[in-house]
Amino acid sequence: MTAKKTFYRQGDIVLVKEDRVPATSIKKDNIIARGEHSGHAHQFTATAPVSVFIDPATSTQHVHVEHPAVLEHDTHENHELAPGDYEVRVERELDLVGEVRRVAD
């Protein structure tokens, strides 16, 4: 039986519990860079006991939480994450405009 994958959802991202951060991932700052065009970011404070990583091959972000840490956002409620490793997944969207343009071309 497949183990249940638990996750937190905040706006357009989810943090999915995983066994460990991939070894090929590289440490980055504590901002899960998203919505840079809107100005809103999902982020941990600079002193939070977390490390955020990025897999350079896929640009997927991963988070290692050493102790309970708060994921913050300007417009969505904060979440306190339990210790562990997480994969960050960004919401998928169907691109209606892109699809119509491809058909037109």
Shortest distance, position 49 Cβ to another protein, whole Å = 18
Please name the helix (run of DSSP H) or strand (run of DSSP E) that holds residue 97, with its range, or none: helix 96-104
Nearer to another protein, 14 or 51 (CB): 14
Name the site residues for another protein (rule: CB under 8 A): 4-11, 14, 16, 24, 26, 35-37, 54, 56-57, 59, 73-79, 82, 89, 91-101, 104
Beta strand 7-10 with 79-81 is: unpaired
Shortest distance, position 14 Cβ to another protein, whole Å = 5
